[in-house]
Amino acid sequence: MKSLIENRFGLLVLVLVALLALYGTAAATRPDRPGERTAGAAAQPRRVPISSVTAVCPAPADSRVGVVTPPDGGGGPGTATITAEGTGTGDGEGDAGDAGDAGDKVLDTLTAPGRLWQKEVPAGSGPVTVAATGSSAAGLEAAQTRRETSGGQRGLAGVRCVEPTASTWLVGPGPAAADVRLYLSNPDPARAVVEVLVYSGEGPVAGDTGSTIILKPGESRTVDLKELAPSPRVMAVEVRTAAGRVTAAARAIMNGGRGVDWLPAAAAPATRVVVPGVPGGGGKRELLVASPAEVDTLVEVKALTPDGTYALKGRELVDVPAGSVVSVDLSGGIGGQPAALVLTSDTPIVAGLAATGTGRKPDVAFTAGAAPIDLGSVVADNRTDGKRGSRLLLAAPEAEGKVSVQVLPRSGDAPEAFELGVAASRVKEVKLPEMDGSFAVVVLPLPGSGPVYGARVMDERIKDGLALTVQPLAAARTWALVPPITESVAAVLP
Amino acid sequence: MSITDSRRTHHTVTAIVVSHDGARWLGETLDGLLRQTRPVDRVVAADNGSRDGGADLLTRTLGSDAVLALPRSTGFGEAVAEVLKRLEPGGGNEWIWLLHDDCAPDARALEHLLRAADADPKAGVLGPKLRDWMDRRLLLEVGVTVDRTGRRDTGLEAREFDQGQYDGVRDVLSVSTAGMLIRRDVWDEVGGLDPFLRIFRDDLDLCWRVRNAGHRVQNVTRAVAWHAEAASRRRRRITVSGAHPRRLERRNALFVVLANLPTGPLLRALLRNLAGSVVRAVILLLAKQPANALDEVVAFGSVLAHPWRLLRARRARAAGRKQRYNAVKRLLTPPGAGYRRLVDRVQTYLSGGPVESAGRHHAVVRAPEDGEELLTDDAGATRRIVGDPGVLLFAALLAVTLVAERGLLGGARLGGGALVPVTGGAADLWRLYTEGYHPAGLGSDAWAPPYVAVLAALSSVLLGKTWLAVSVLLLGCVPLAGLSAYAATRGIVSGRWTRVWLASSYALLPVATGAVAAGRLGTAVVFVLLPVYAALATTLLSGEGRRARRAAWALGLLLAVGTAFAPVVYPLTLLLGALAALAFPRRGVGVSVAIAFGVPAVLLLPWLVQLVADPGRFLLEAGLHRPELVDPALPAESLLLLSPGGPGTPPLWVTAGLIAACLAALLMRRNRMVIAIGWGVALFGVLVAVLAGRITVTSPGGDTAAPAWPGVPLAFAALGMLVVAALTAGRVTEFRAAGGLRRLAALLVVAVAFSTPLLAAGMWIVRGTPGPISGNARDAVPALVAANSGGGERTLLLRSRGGALTFTVLRGRMPLIGESDIPSPDGPRELVGVAAAGLVSGRGGDDARVLAAHGVRFVVVASPVGPEVSRALDSQPALARMSLSRELGVWRLTQPVGMPPVPPGDPWHARWLWVQALLVCVVAVLAAPGSRDEDGPVQDRPETERELAAR
């Protein structure tokens, strides 16, 4: 050893050999970069059943309320309590919360998921609140449908019962064209401070005194939009809260007996909006595009039909001024085919569509921009018998979609679920099977499916014309994606 | 008095020799005495029980009648008094000439003294010039004075040669009793030497009294005596009293001063001495002279404890004290001298010199070693400092650092990377370190990491500003490392410019710039300390006994600091230390190594146990462990080129010159063994770096699993290589001198070697410090939340990063710098984590209730706020939104928040902290450069030259 060190080149060689050995070790143990990365990001979001849902059906008087929880929403106990608020005021001033407690009436308590609960709510009832926990909550869906064959509210009018949120967009006719009423409910234990912003064809309607509404816990209120903005023919409404949460729904009774329906909640402003559920057949189709942005925008409109993408002659591009709503008549454009519309723009937009049935006394129906049903969707109240028909309009704007459709009847055994595919950039119309009485339907995307948007169209041939209602498929409240989470003080650093 | 007026009076001189165990010198003393040109009239000797045949010598020389045998315990004053009692007065103007047995007068001493006495009839006491017995040219005394604190002052420099510079007859406050010529009537008038002062300061007291009686005390430099100072140099034992000589000396000094000062100055002197004694005792304690400190305090105490004795002495000295004080005052050392001496002493102490206890006039200055020029403080200091290469290097590195870190300086808050944004002050850090239960975050009763205490101490020094402490340590690590490498290698590497190269190459290593860019405070601190470790280890292995031991204590203390910041230092050095202890079988090395590694283990005890339980944490360091700060697949060549990867490191080729120079050093024939050892250390460092860079380490909180950053082992390896290269740098000079091809080769090697620091500095300046570190880190706690968290409510902070969500729980403020290293307890962390994820998913349920039970009142989503997250939180009935923007979302729990109770603290926590503080003080004192101990047992330079009888 000593002689090796004393040798002039011995030490150099020794060190070089050692360095080479270290290099070899380091090179051999070097991990592959991508492998390391995936190991680091191995944690994927976890799907967990939702354990608590509260939904409010805004005005179920004289309507049929359906409530359903899909059967596979996770085990364990759970109940859904359906409560009707007492002394319902169909059109009067909002009822005070303190009176509400006294008049509340529990309609039913559900413990077994997988079965549709349905009830005709008598006139005079206030909003119905469905509060579910545990296994009854996962996927809970509720809807109200009103059917009138005559009178001022002749037609089919259905709406999904929604959860309280901080922001709701509604797009439809304005007070100049219809009697539009806003139904607000605050089922939370906290006070809600609500602002109602109205956008008209001429721009945003300057909020005067009445645009801020304070709802006490449990309070519901009805607002006639004429008081806020009497003149718009078309409008977009944002109901947002400065504090608390609120459910918002609007019913439009068209002037001159031209039908009635609820405005479905539209997807929040985005640069790409898919409006599913443009029903086929005759009648008027009117697209409403609202831009809450502060600059004018150009919206590209594309229609998807069962035959493929359909060019809208002369209406591919719609100019939407800042803060206003533009109406585009598509009646001739689609040619009576069931369709979905894909709108893209530079600034976020909100979109809705009004469809009119055929006949001497037509009915109206509304659809709106919707979210893809990545986690599935449930429609609580459907009917198919004789003159009544229900069908799903599924659209796959990007890649081919594959879904399974499960029917949940009110009683009796559920039929086998069936699977179907939707070709890319197409719309598929699926007629729901004939069932005895009302039923619910569960649409679940299958693995490998592209994003699927959809809507349920229900119509009925009644005397003098076709009554119809459309409900865009909303993401089911079955699952929540729980993101992987770690505790790290590094969260304080950007 | 009547006799003094005649100028022509006939003198008679009685010489009194007092001997005690001084036969070694007595012969020459008697010889000198008997060969006086002006013969003494009478010679009487007193022998205080000599056991070395001194009495026989006296009897032989002087005859038995002239020798008085006294018991061994007799003091000098008593012996003289005893002799005079039996001696009838001589005729005429009688003088007494006092001689010690170790004090040989020059043949003409008496003649000159008497001539001076003739010249000034008022002279009552005359003393010769005292020179050293051994080195006969050395001046010992030309009169002695004292200051108001009792400190003796000869007015001479240490080891001052006699070149006639003080010659002349001068009035002095006192002269030594060795060779003192005193008129017998004056002696009788003032009562002779005070028997209470058996040893030390009796001469001063006597002369002061003589002055107060209106006589003069003069030093006659033409009269010369050689004095061995046998007693004070411990050439014979002083056993006149049981007390320690130093204590006795201090007591007598104080006593004499307090007894002879008039009342006004007395009170002032009393106060000054009270303060001075305390300060001196503290300094002596720090200088590791606890016995002397005790003496200091006891001496002062014993003077004060006997007020009657002092009052009696004052009464006896009352006559003339006040009247003559003005004359005496001129002869006392002026008051400023004491302060100047204290400053001198502190400066010397701080600069690592010997602490001398006798003031500058007795200091023996060590010859400055090479490289100590930085630390010594004397006349030409400014010029020497400015011209010193080390200072120039520091200035250059500082300039480079300031330019390269231009984006970081002057910001609102330093943070980012591994560094939690720096908030709070020294008090917060001290509280964090000392509290038994940490309420921050989710609450934890774990031990705070010890580096918090180091930072807190440094912050306290820097006026409580933690940000300043962190900035100095982290941002200033490059110039500091340069300075420490330059200063620490002075004992290892010769040649200042070689050391400049070494220090600049070391300071600008990729490790340093990487540590700054990633906010790695731990690596930065260890990077500065590593050269110091090397220097101390060298001293430990090669220094002589005490120095080696002191280096061991210092190494232990600094290792504890380094380990607290980056624990990998400890195993890394431990292995080398064990090898060194085996390879250097010198006596004491084993113990020194055990001290050096035992001190950190004991000082860091409870925290180190946690580390041993989770050995992976040895590879981590102070601050956050984040995967984005390390290169998970560090290339092998990067490790060999000393680049640890991650942000802020320069391109690999920058260090190529350094490696080439170090490899070239292997071809040199000299220092083969040292080169082999240096390369061994370097290879070992690289090996550890390879291991650290490949092992996946999980952070204490379990949130991150990523390889460790191999900065410290690579710095270690680099230091080994640099020392190797620097040691052979001398050959470059020789090659250059040789001319021809060799000269070319030498220039090439220098160019290659200097390319590394120059390129590294250039790259750093050009690139700046991009790092994740930022000078303006944002406060993650919104003001709205901070203002509403007065009751200790917690805040859940959520941030989505790369698809994953992270959360942390804060308590109304940003975490302190050590709090990030205290892991939250598993149970609450799991519960809150599940609840937070549930909230974000919008699944409903009782997640909010779980949060409320843990005291969480606010939920803050930090930038970027995803729409899904904000929608999910909005959909929670239990949350109410307070504010929402794209940058920040704040929600408040609507339900009442329950604050979890604070568990009772562990009583052992506080006790251990006290023990720890005590241990740190003890180790610091043991490690500090202490008193000059090279002289063996002599601790103080002579205060009094006095031999005295004993038992």
Q: pLDDT tens digits for B443-481?
A: 888 889 999 999 999 999 999 999 999 999 999 999 999
User: In this complex, which of B421, B666, B809 lies closest to A15 when CB atoms are compared?
Assistant: B666
CA–CA gap between residue B487 and residue B371 (Å, rounded): 7
User: In this complex, which of B669, B840, B875 lies closest to A8 when CB atoms are compared?
Assistant: B669
**Neighbouring residues of B513: CB distance < 8 A, sequence distance ≥ 6:** B404, B478, B648, B649, B650, B760, B764, B769
All residues of chain A having their beta carbon less than 8 Å from the beta carbon of residue B634 are 26, 30
Domain with A169 in it: 48-480
CA–CA gap between residue A409 and residue B364 (Å, rounded): 108
CA–CA gap between residue A463 and residue B36 (Å, rounded): 158
Question: From residue A411, how far is each of A115, A143, A381, A408, A443 by CA, in Å?
Answer: 7, 18, 14, 8, 19
E-strand ranges in A149-215 read 155-160, 167-173, 178-185, 192-200, 203-205, 212-215
CA–CA gap between residue B468 and residue B430 (Å, rounded): 16
Amino acid at B72: R
- CB-defined contacts A:B, below 8 A: 219
The answer to whether B874 contacts A166, with C-beta atoms less than 8 Å apart, is yes
| Statement: residue B504 has pLDDT above 50 | yes
Tell me which chain B residue has its CA closest to the CA of residue A12: B666
Question: From residue B289, how far is each of B62, B602, B932 by CA, in Å?
Answer: 45, 25, 11
Closest approach of B627 to chain A, Cα-based (Å): 9
| Statement: residue B2 has pLDDT above 60 | no
CA–CA gap between residue A6 and residue B405 (Å, rounded): 46
pLDDT at position B127 is 93
Tell me which chain B residue has its CA closest to the CA of residue A78: B845
User: In this complex, which of B634, B778, B807 lies closest to A485 when CB atoms are compared?
Assistant: B807
All residues of chain B having their beta carbon less than 8 Å from the beta carbon of residue A6 are 672
Best probe of the B interface among A25, A168, A488, by most B CBs < 10 A, is A488
- pLDDT tier for residue B385 given thresholds of 50, 70 and 90: low
Out of A391-405, B789-803, B845-859, B926-940, least confident range: B926-940
Closest approach of A356 to chain B, Cα-based (Å): 33
- pLDDT tier for residue B353 given thresholds of 50, 70 and 90: very low
Secondary structure class of B465 (helix, strand, coil)? coil
Secondary structure class of B332 (helix, strand, coil)? coil
All residues of chain B having their beta carbon less than 8 Å from the beta carbon of residue A31 are 632-633, 694
Best probe of the A interface among B805, B816, B829, by most A CBs < 10 A, is B805
All residues of chain B having their beta carbon less than 8 Å from the beta carbon of residue A8 are 667, 669
The answer to whether B837 contacts A8, with C-beta atoms less than 8 Å apart, is no
Structure tokens at B303: 């003077």
Tell me which chain A residue has its CA closest to the CA of residue B834: A485
Q: Which run of H or of E encompasses B222?
A: strand B216-227
User: In this complex, which of B640, B824, B871 lies closest to A22 when CB atoms are compared?
Assistant: B640
The answer to whether B841 contacts A482, with C-beta atoms less than 8 Å apart, is yes
pLDDT tens column, A309-366: 877 777 788 999 999 999 998 887 777 889 999 999 999 999 999 999 888 888 999 9
CA–CA gap between residue B845 and residue A135 (Å, rounded): 11
The answer to whether A19 contacts B824, with C-beta atoms less than 8 Å apart, is no
CA–CA gap between residue A333 and residue B18 (Å, rounded): 137
| Statement: residue B230 has pLDDT above 80 | no
Sign, Cα dihedral of B418, B422, B423, B425: positive
Closest approach of A39 to chain B, Cα-based (Å): 10
pLDDT at position B411 is 84
Q: Would residue A189 count as lying in a domain?
A: yes
The answer to whether B863 contacts A494, with C-beta atoms less than 8 Å apart, is yes
Closest approach of B561 to chain A, Cα-based (Å): 24
Classify burial at B730, counting beta carbons within 10 Å of its beta carbon; exposed 0-12, middle 13-18, buried 19 or more: middle
All residues of chain A having their beta carbon less than 8 Å from the beta carbon of residue B881 are 166, 241, 243
Q: What region, left, alpha or beta, does residue B634 occupy, with left being phi > 0 and alpha being psi -120 to 50 degrees? A: beta
| Statement: residue B937 has pLDDT above 80 | no
- Look-up of token digits 């069908």: A391
User: In this complex, which of B627, B837, B842 lies closest to A40 when CB atoms are compared?
Assistant: B627
Mean pLDDT of B367-385: 48
pLDDT < 70 positions in chain A: 1-2, 33-43, 73-75, 87-103, 207-210
The answer to whether B829 contacts A481, with C-beta atoms less than 8 Å apart, is no
Residue-averaged pLDDT of chain B: 84
Please tell me chain B's helix, strand, coil percentages from 3-state DSSP, rounded to the nearest 5: 50, 15, 35
Q: Is the pTM of this model over 0.90?
A: no
Q: Would residue A29 count as lying in a domain?
A: no
Closest approach of B680 to chain A, Cα-based (Å): 8
The answer to whether B877 contacts A164, with C-beta atoms less than 8 Å apart, is yes
| Domains contained in chain A, number | 1
Give the number of C-alpha atoms closer than 13 A to the C-alpha of residue A174, restricted to the C-beta side: 27
- pLDDT tier for residue B361 given thresholds of 50, 70 and 90: very low
Best probe of the B interface among A16, A79, A485, by most B CBs < 10 A, is A485
Q: Would residue A27 count as lying in a domain?
A: no
Tell me which chain A residue has its CA closest to the CA of residue B875: A165
All residues of chain A having their beta carbon less than 8 Å from the beta carbon of residue B844 are 50-53, 133, 137, 480
User: In this complex, which of B640, B702, B806 lies closest to A490 when CB atoms are compared?
Assistant: B806
Structure tokens at A47: 């799907």
The answer to whether A6 contacts B772, with C-beta atoms less than 8 Å apart, is no
Closest approach of B472 to chain A, Cα-based (Å): 21
The answer to whether A493 contacts B420, with C-beta atoms less than 8 Å apart, is yes
CA–CA gap between residue B122 and residue B477 (Å, rounded): 70
- Look-up of token digits 């650290």: B692
The closest of A487, A101, A105, A314 to B854, measured between CA atoms, is: A487
All residues of chain B having their beta carbon less than 8 Å from the beta carbon of residue A493 are 415-417, 420-421, 624, 772, 777, 780
User: In this complex, which of A23, A27, A487 lies closest to B703 when CB atoms are compared?
Assistant: A487
CA–CA gap between residue A284 and residue B819 (Å, rounded): 66
Q: Would residue A388 count as lying in a domain?
A: yes
The answer to whether B843 contacts A31, with C-beta atoms less than 8 Å apart, is no
Q: Which residues pair with A185 in a beta bridge?
A: A220, A247
All residues of chain B having their beta carbon less than 8 Å from the beta carbon of residue A194 are none
The answer to whether A190 contacts B797, with C-beta atoms less than 8 Å apart, is no
Q: What region, left, alpha or beta, does residue B393 occupy, with left being phi > 0 and alpha being psi -120 to 50 degrees? A: alpha
CA–CA gap between residue A252 and residue A181 (Å, rounded): 7
Q: What region, left, alpha or beta, does residue B333 occupy, with left being phi > 0 and alpha being psi -120 to 50 degrees? A: beta
The answer to whether B819 contacts A490, with C-beta atoms less than 8 Å apart, is no
The answer to whether A488 contacts B420, with C-beta atoms less than 8 Å apart, is no
All residues of chain A having their beta carbon less than 8 Å from the beta carbon of residue B423 are none
All residues of chain B having their beta carbon less than 8 Å from the beta carbon of residue A474 are none
- Look-up of token digits 């009697």: A179
pLDDT tens column, B389-433: 888 999 999 999 999 999 888 888 999 889 999 998 999 999 999
Structure tokens at B373: 């020029």
| Statement: residue B6 has pLDDT above 50 | no
Cis ω before B877 (30° cut-off from 0): no
All residues of chain A having their beta carbon less than 8 Å from the beta carbon of residue B415 are 493
The answer to whether B841 contacts A49, with C-beta atoms less than 8 Å apart, is no
Secondary structure class of B647 (helix, strand, coil)? coil
pLDDT tens column, B161-198: 888 888 888 889 999 988 999 999 899 888 888 888 87
- pLDDT tier for residue B286 given thresholds of 50, 70 and 90: confident
Closest approach of A317 to chain B, Cα-based (Å): 28
Task: With beta carbons less than 8 A apart as the criterion, state whether B103 and B20 touch.
Answer: no
**Count of CB atoms situated within 10 Å of the CB of A47:** 14
The answer to whether B639 contacts A22, with C-beta atoms less than 8 Å apart, is yes
Q: Which residues pair with A118 in a beta bridge?
A: A66
CA–CA gap between residue B115 and residue B98 (Å, rounded): 17
pLDDT tens column, A267-316: 989 999 999 999 988 888 999 999 998 899 999 999 999 988 877 777 78
Q: Would residue A21 count as lying in a domain?
A: no
